[in-house]
Chain A
């Protein structure tokens, strides 16, 4: 959890906006540090977290979480965290032709054209708490975290199927259960002749659905060792105000967190 980011977004583990759909995207940069922030944030807040880890192993998130002060292994044991190991289980699906029940969420690997229904059923069953839990512990509102959604494009799933999946998830998690969603999407360069099934199309579709968009990019002036990039924060305003709020920050990622500052105020420059 990054304290500076909490103050920028005006949220703390004790009081945060519910029914929020947060989209984290990047273009030729790496925004995964924001996923680690949200993971530790919601675990600290005591929410039930469903994490679809499609590109990294559990030990990676666990190691980073340790530095940020949360223990993922403990959370998984207590039942607060449900983690889908995408990498490990997909070997079985493709190479062993494993069709057992556990690999149903990854059915898109076998038939990419068929859509993500299996994955959605997994998410649905994870976020709906059983009324009388085994340990009697009741967690806060459910949170769905996905890292990263654009890898499904590399595996052959169509943009339309992914947007359908996010719409279903939003309806279940955000509207019905008053929970939050955080999704990471990685894009490539804006191309003049963009292909139909590009990640840019996916990102545009998700920006249309979300409430808060955090977009991470490299600096427009070039590579700098001390400023790792710029992050654009965009809030969708509800209510009477017509214009949407948009702010840009520079950031630097450390070992134990990230610091955010206004443009031009990096300590390297001042």
Chain B
């Protein structure tokens, strides 16, 4: 099976076998950790998991919202949130973390440590020529020009420089973590503000106000003059809609605040569209009894995925799924500034969390039916 084309597009930036440097007078801002989309020129950031970047069309577009429907024990969705924040630390983006259950500092301390050797190793190996070594069985004798190319993988991966790999068994060094600017919002420590005129309940209202203050103060919406380098703000909002946020959409059939979360997401969308920020929101959708509300929440976000882990369900012993930890459903992909959107090959995806990689793979091949079929 050939490596996907998308993986090769990014590799031209790392496998620079020529000294040709394209002279770009690009009007796009060059912010570290971002790249323009191949499809429609949108500015993309990595979600921290390169397989996920591939599945959602190259990365998360700046100004959009990624919705993650949590799995039952909130283990893998929390992991994705940590990958997202860790990627922000490594790329030098600013972070905003809001949670109601665990203190944001606790989540920050659990961030996985980046595998820096991987990136450095690949760079070093390109510079040197590889002499054929009889003791080293890995050195290629005949196809030596391909020595430095990445091995073909069945896992979906994009360029290494854009995204990074993390070692889940180690936590990030405190120095690296503290180098990143992080704003936090811990719901249980906020004083409730009584806003009788707003249709939003107090926790959501204060969270939105806090986000807006950070965006304004740090100049992500272009309001302050550009004295410093432009940067991207990553917002991580954990477990919105759960009871701890003062919302009863997850515990009642007919909630009193059934429009609170949807109004919140609508205003958040407005804030994201008018600033250089990207948000990842996790929602415990398995607790909502009303499927219509979940449908509206998905429509109000741009990219939406759902995680279904096998732990504790009968699928755990199913031989079909023995290599994987769960299924990944792509609920929605955005159409940003263009008519068409990234259409995936197949929607049957499964994920597994290894120590050094969160891999997302196809469960089985789709039917061989396309406009450009290769004749056998």
Digit string of B246-277 for contact with A (CB within 8 Å is 1, else 0)?
Answer: 00000000000001001100110111011000
Q: Which residues B337-353 have CB closer than 8 A to chain A? A: 337-341, 343-347
Interface size range on A against B: 35 or more
Q: Counting CB contacts under 8 A, is B198 at the interface? A: yes
B359 CB, min distance to chain A CBs, angstroms: 22
A226 near B337 with CB under 8 A, answer no
| The stretch of A56-64, A134-142, A206-214, A236-244 that contacts the partner chain | A56-64
Q: Which residues A32-82 have CB closer than 8 A to chain B? A: 32-33, 36, 55-57, 59-60, 63-64, 67-68
CA gap between A91 and B366 in the complex, in Å: 43
B292 near A257 with CB under 8 A, answer no
CA gap between A110 and B205 in the complex, in Å: 13
Please indicate the chain B residues that have their CB under 8 angstroms from the CB of A67 in the complex: 338-339
Please indicate the chain B residues that have their CB under 8 angstroms from the CB of A63 in the complex: 337-338
Number of interface residues of B (CB under 8 A): 41
A189 near B291 with CB under 8 A, answer yes
Q: A109-B199, A154-B259 are in contact. Are A226 and B371 (CB under 8 A)?
A: yes
Which residues from chain A sit less than 8 Å from chain B, CB to CB?
Answer: 28, 30, 32-33, 36, 55-57, 59-60, 63-64, 67-68, 87-88, 90-91, 94-95, 97, 109-112, 151, 153-156, 186, 188-189, 191, 195, 198-199, 223-226, 228, 253-258, 267-269
8 Å CB contact of B295 from A155, A188, A258: A188
For B271, give the chain A residue with the smallest CB separation. A91
8 Å CB contact of B340 from A95, A109, A154, A254: A254
Q: Which residues B273-300 have CB closer than 8 A to chain A? A: 273-274, 290-292, 295-296, 299-300
8 Å CB contact of A64 from B200, B295, B338: B338
Q: Counting CB contacts under 8 A, is B197 at the interface? A: yes
For A268, give the chain B residue with the smallest CB separation. B371
Q: Counting CB contacts under 8 A, is B214 at the interface? A: no
Q: A87-B270, A154-B300 are in contact. Are A225 and B199 (CB under 8 A)?
A: no
Q: Counting CB contacts under 8 A, is B209 at the interface? A: yes
Which residues from chain B sit less than 8 Å from chain A, CB to CB?
Answer: 197-200, 205, 208-209, 212, 259, 262-263, 266-267, 269-271, 273-274, 290-292, 295-296, 299-300, 335-341, 343-347, 366, 369-371
Please indicate the chain A residues that have their CB under 8 angstroms from the CB of B270 in the complex: 87-88, 90-91
For A68, give the chain B residue with the smallest CB separation. B339
Q: Which of A88, A223, A254 has the most CB of B within 10 A?
A: A223
A32 CB, min distance to chain B CBs, angstroms: 7
CA gap between A68 and B274 in the complex, in Å: 24
A163 CB, min distance to chain B CBs, angstroms: 18
Q: A87-B273, A95-B212, A269-B369 are in contact. Are A64 and B339 (CB under 8 A)?
A: yes
For A257, give the chain B residue with the smallest CB separation. B339
A59 near B371 with CB under 8 A, answer no
A87 near B290 with CB under 8 A, answer no
A195 near B292 with CB under 8 A, answer yes
Not counting A95-B267, A191-B291, A268-B371, a sample of 13 additional A-B residue pairs whose C-beta atoms are within 8 angstroms of each other reads A33-B335, A60-B336, A88-B273, A88-B274, A91-B212, A91-B270, A151-B299, A151-B300, A155-B263, A223-B347, A225-B345, A225-B370, A253-B339
